[in-house]
Structure 1
Amino acid sequence: MKTIEKAVQSEINIKKSQFICSLFPTKSKKESKEIIQKLNQQYHDATHNCTAYITNDGEGYDDNGEPGGTAGKPMINALRKNDLHNVTAVVTRYFGGIKLGAGGLVRAYSKSVLEAIEASEIIEVEYYDVYNITFDYSDLKDIEREIRNSKLTIIQKDFGEKISYDLVSKNNKNIKEIFEKFHNKIKVNFKNKQVLKKIK
């Protein structure tokens, strides 16, 4: 799955109208709506703040007063064309006095998003099941060896009273089964699903 690494902004001017595209990595509709609301406040003096988003739990777009189908739809199509997920696009328009017509608007909003995508760092991400394992310091060597042999990836380490690792398996091996041989020496719990940069 492809997404953008971090938020970017780009600007184009067409027939005296200014189009500012802000792209954000977002995982949920809730997150998208919060960003859209924030930008509506930031650019409250703009003629239009048109939006499009594709996230884990849905997608949507809004023409924000532009003629139907001339803004939000071309914006979401630009995201789809680039196979992007978990991303929110907001194009802020300051009208320059010259009407662009329906075709001109479609091209302008589409171009605005494509320029921002061009300026973005595109990354490959995948969903991984994250497991937490907890064990004694005396078992560290054996556990580390097992992690290497099973080609597991440690994404977080915590050294407290006991050692705690958050692990993912890039081959989607069953992490619980891997550590069964340690019997009661190790606690293995499913933690959550996370979108992580693709683990090479």
Structure 2
Amino acid sequence: MKTIAKPFQSSIDIKKSQFICRLFPAQNEKEAKEIIKEISEKYKDATHNCTAYLVSDGEAYDDDGEPGGTAGRPMLNVLKKNKIENTVAIVTRYFGGIKLGAGGLVRAYSKSVLETLSIAEIVDMELYEIFKFSFEYQHIKAIDSEIRGKNLSIVEKQYEADVIYFVACDNIDIVKNIQEKLVKEVNIEYLGSRFLEKID
């Protein structure tokens, strides 16, 4: 799955109207809606804040007062055509006094998203199972050895009273094998699935 690495923004002027496109990574509809709410409130002085998103649990678009089908849907179509997922597109328009017509609006909103995608850093993401490994400091060498040997990836380390590793894996059986082998040394907790940049 392809998505953007971080937020990106670009702006174009068409017949005195300014179109500012902002792209944001988002894992699900809840995140997407929170981003849209925040940006719409921040730029409520704009004539329109049109939106589209394509995420793991759904898709949606909103023309925000533009004629039906001239903004949100074309924006969503650009994401789909370029196979960009887990992404929110918001195009803020400041009207310059010259009407563009339905065809002109479709082209303007599509171009705005396309131009921002052209400068965005695109990354390949995959769905991984995330596990929390908790263990005493004396077992670091043994745990590290197992993780390296099984080609697992540590996405975060915390050194507190105990050592905590957050480990990404695409095969739960491998983690079960470690738990059985080191049952006295490590406590492993399953945290659920998460999209991460593809691990080689």
TM-score, with length taken from structure 1: 0.91
AA at the equivalent of 1:13:
D
AA at the equivalent of 1:153:
S
Is 1:68 the counterpart of 2:35? The answer is no
Change (3 A) 1:39 1:174: same
User: What is the percentage of aligned positions where both structures have the same residue?
Assistant: 52
CA drift of 1:120 comes to 0.9
Change (3 A) 1:170 1:92: same
Alignment match, 2:177: 177
Q: Secondary structure at the match of 1:179?
A: helix
AA at the equivalent of 2:4:
I
Alignment match, 2:109: 109
Q: How does 1:132-143 map to 2 (within 5 A)?
A: 132-143=132-143
Alignment match, 2:124: 124
Is the 8 Å Cα contact of residues 48 and 64 (structure 1) preserved in structure 2? Answer: yes
Aligned length: 200
Change (3 A) 1:35 1:138: closer
Alignment match, 1:163: 163
Is the 8 Å Cα contact of residues 129 and 170 (structure 2) preserved in structure 1? Answer: no
AA at the equivalent of 1:35:
I
Gaps of 5+ in 2: none
Alignment match, 2:47: 47
Gaps of 5+ in 1: none
CA drift of 1:26 comes to 1.5
Q: Secondary structure at the match of 1:84?
A: coil
Q: Secondary structure at the match of 2:12?
A: strand
Q: Secondary structure at the match of 1:97?
A: coil
Q: Secondary structure at the match of 1:145?
A: helix
TM-score, with length taken from structure 2: 0.91
CA drift of 1:60 comes to 0.4
Is the 8 Å Cα contact of residues 158 and 165 (structure 1) preserved in structure 2? Answer: yes
Alignment match, 1:30: 30
CA drift of 1:173 comes to 4.8
Provide runs of 4+ in structure 1 moved above 4 Å.
Answer: 170-173
CA drift of 1:171 comes to 5.6
AA at the equivalent of 2:146:
E
Alignment match, 1:197: 197
Is the 8 Å Cα contact of residues 130 and 167 (structure 2) preserved in structure 1? Answer: yes
Change (3 A) 1:169 1:37: closer
- Aligned CA RMSD, in angstroms, stands at 1.8
Alignment match, 2:100: 100
